[in-house]
Structure 1
Amino acid sequence: MQRDFLWFRNDIYKDRIGCYPPLEIRIMAIIFRAHYPPHSAFKSRKVSTRFPAANFFSTTIKMEGTSATAEETKEQKPNKIFVAGSTGKTGKRIVEQLLSKSYGVRAGARDVEKAKSSLPQHPNLQIVDNFGTVNLVEACRKIGVKRFVLVSSILVNGAAMGQLLNPAYIVLNLFGLTLIAKLQAEKYIKRSGINYTIIRPGGLRNDPPSGNIVMEPEDTLFEGSISRDQVAEVAVEALQCPESYFKVIEIVSRVEAPKRPLKDLFSGIKQK
């Protein structure tokens, strides 16, 4: 059996204190490579041995071939996408958006019965059991993954931003140094040689979008929130958008912000 795309998800929930909205710590990867077994689920998810506080329940899509150009990659539409953590609040939205774009989806979940009851009925959707734990980045390197999208969080580099006293930064790092571990994961991905996009959203909201997406370079935003729907939209768009390659972006939503195409927003961020 062959799989065109893999999608792994990771959700670690923490609450910001005071007036701050809930902030979900996620690691999501999207990896390009053509012909890899479609959507399976990952059952036993353990803490990464390389990054002790970061669980890689991530989202990966990979397209095979080592010489595909950016234009070719953009035009090729994957037949299958694997989404692990598909019953999570953001993962479910990703599945729905992928199905709406006519992707074939294999939704990975710890509880298959829960997935069947919570995910939409769709001919292109297959729900499967998780099949184990992997060291995500190392596994991607070994199988020749070419494209990796990581959904991280704003404030991961809070210390360098002068945000050591930010309540969210303090609280999140009380639990296993979550943000510090995520920053190390980002650095490792950058050194891996894989074509990456790192997305750092603000505090996650369950409600529909109430504003337009604001996209900034890394280490710019230290507050703000965004709808999970918009995070899913950005992640899915980044899959086949060359303007997002080798970039770290931070996103929140603001009512006063003008609505702009995601491609233009990605283009406005420089590679480092």
Structure 2
Amino acid sequence: MENILVAGANGTTGKQIVNLLNASQYFKPIAMVRKAEQKKQFEAENIETVLADLEEDLNHVFDNNKTIDKVLFAAGSGGKNVFKVDQDGAKRLIDASKANNIKKFVMLSSMGADKPEEANKLHDYLKAKHNADEYLKSSGLNYSIVRPGTLTNNAAEHKIKLEESLNEHGEISRADVAQTLVKVLNDDTANKATFEIIKGHTLIGEALNKFSTVVY
């Protein structure tokens, strides 16, 4: 069983990710939270937690949890501090992950992060995500970058549309995004891959088969 550090565990999508990992026979979540009071909900479920702020040094996360195997970044500032959290916070966690020989870094990005200059309303957010994604690609770490369309709180459909570039906009439930992120944690899935997802008609596992590759 592999230990997965989840950055942004207290977020709407992050909580679903942690629950999926906690129910998995392959993965064990370590919930990374920013405030001490956020630890209680996870500890009540016997889920290990670590207190860390993406705007500060993160090396203690790995010093105290030397058994972390992979990292899943699902954190976000909610548009308040996109360059400090979504960009620099991600870079800080990437650096710490590399220093501690993490096997895989899964990034929750956003559709449009490949061309932030074309965005109107979310330019700064997408630019921050773009910079974080590019930093991860050049880090030398094994990675998966998942770029969903507009997030909804609808129930999981367990089906998606997936391409490296969809060339169309759409929405997708946080539940299906969470399932996709957990599935790409597998060693043989989406290694050094970047792709976009929206709701669709193909089962998530089947859609990911096109990115089943060699293990790095």
| TM-score (norm. length: structure 1) | 0.58
C-alpha contact (below 8 Å) 1:96/1:120 kept by paired residues = no
Distance in 2, matches of 1:241 and 1:212, equals 21
Contact preservation (8 Å) 1:217, 1:270: no
Within 5 Å, which residues of 2 pair with 1:67-106?
Answer: 77-78=1-2, 80-102=3-25, 103-106=27-30
Q: Percent identity?
A: 29
How do 1:1-272 and structure 2 match up within 5 A? 77-78=1-2, 80-102=3-25, 103-117=27-41, 119=42, 121-123=44-46, 125-130=47-52, 132-134=56-58, 135-158=92-115, 164=118, 169-173=119-123, 177-210=124-157, 212-218=159-165, 220-254=166-200, 257=201, 259-262=202-205, 264-269=206-211
Deviations 1:60-106 (A, max 9, x none): xxxxxxxxxxxxxxxxx31x333232221001001110111144333
Q: CA deviation at 1:183?
A: 1.5
Say what the alpha-carbon RMSD is for the aligned residues.
Answer: 2.5
- What's the CA shift string for 1:212-250, capped at 9, x where partnerless? 2111113x3441111111111111111114131111111
Q: Which has more radius of gyration?
A: 1
User: Is the Cα contact below 8 Å between 1:109 and 1:128 reproduced in 2?
Assistant: yes
Q: Give the conservation status (yes or no) of the 8 Å contact 2:183–2:189.
A: no
The structural deviation recorded for 1:261 is 4.8
Unaligned runs of 5+ in 1: 1-76
Query: Does the aligned pair in 2 maintain the 1:225–1:253 contact within 8 Å?
Result: yes
Residues 128 and 144 from structure 1, CA distance in 2 versus in 1: closer, same or farther, beyond 3 angstroms? closer
Which amino acid in structure 2 is aligned with residue 246 of structure 1?
A: K
Q: Going by fraction, where is helix more abundant, 1 or 2? A: 2
Q: Is the 8 A contact 1:98 1:236 kept in 2?
A: yes
Gaps of 5+ in 2: 59-91
**Secondary structure at 1:244 match in 2:** coil
Call closer, same or farther: CA 1:210–1:106 in 2, change over 3 Å: closer
CA contact (8 A) 2:98 2:139 kept: yes
Q: Distance in 1 between matches of 2:31 and 2:212?
A: 33
Residue type at the aligned position of 1:260? L
Q: Relative contact order (alpha carbons < 8 A, sep ≥ 6): 1 or 2 greater? A: 1
For the structure 1 residues 146 and 83, does the alpha-carbon distance in structure 2 shift closer, same or farther, using more than 3 Å as the test? Answer: closer
Change (3 A) 1:105 1:269: closer
Alpha-carbon separation, structure 2, partners of 1:224 and 1:190: 25
Q: Aligned residue pairs: how many?
A: 177
Displacement of 1:149 in angstroms is 1.2
Q: CA deviation at 1:116?
A: 2.3
Q: CA 1:268–1:212 in 2, change beyond 3 Å: closer, same or farther?
A: same
CA 1:101 to 1:222, structure 2 compared with 1: closer, same or farther past 3 Å? Answer: same
Structure 2 vs 1, CA of residues 265 and 126 (structure 1 numbering), >3 Å: closer, same or farther? same
The corresponding residue for 1:37 is none
**Paired AA for residue 196 in structure 1:** Y
Go from structure 1 to structure 2 and tell me whether the alpha carbon gap of 1:150 and 1:261 turns closer, same or farther (over 3 Å shift). Answer: closer
